[in-house]
Each structure stands twice: as structure tokens, then as C-alpha cells.
Amino acid sequence: MDDYNVYAQEFLKRMVWSDGCHSWYKNGKGSGHVTGVYPGTILHLKDCLENIGGEHFNIEYRSKNRFHFLGNGESLHDKAGAGDLAYYMDTMKL
């Protein structure tokens, strides 16, 4: 958990939730620890959950923080904010 929290806080430093405004993301404070937000886009989270499989391998990490592999929190589907953010809906039967 410590590694994940360090990774998440480093990522969230560059996001709007860390700005100097009072928010429930910071327990009503104007600054400090940001809580309750995944450190990435929803498509990044979707990709991560769909590609879990590390339990089949003996993983050696190249970084001190084991969550560094999550990268910048963007999926290839995001295309720097210009992608189709609901591409997966095209294949669903409603």
C-alpha cells in the first residue's frame, strides 16, 4: 500500500485535485494529501483490470516502487485526451 500511495500522490500532484482549493478530495482542506481518486484515466484503469496476469510470473521490478509500471496514468486509447473515451461501447449490445 505504501508504494501505491507514493505512486498515486506523485501522479496526482499534476492534476486539478491538488490545486489550492478546499475539496472533499483533500478532506475539506485547501492543500495536502489527495484521497479517493485513481491515479489515471478511466481507460487506463480499464486496461489494467483487463490485463491482470502477474500472478503467473516471478516479477522483478526495475524501480524501487513496484507501481511505477503504471506509467503516466494514460491508456493508448486516451490519445492525450483526443481519443474515443467510450470505444468499448461500440461492441456492447444494449
Q: Residue 78 in contact with residue 47, Cβ under 8 Å?
A: no
Q: Cα 12–22–17 angle (5° rounding)? A: 15
Q: For the whole model, what pTM was predicted?
A: 0.63
The domain segmentation of the chain, as residue ranges, is 2-89
- For the chain, the distance separating the N- and C-terminal CA atoms, rounded to the nearest angstrom, is 38
pLDDT per position as a tens digit, 42-53: 888 888 888 776
Q: The C-alpha cell of 69 is what?
A: 509500471
Q: What is the pLDDT of residues 25-74, one digit of tens each?
A: 888 888 888 887 788 888 888 888 887 766 677 777 788 888 887 878 88
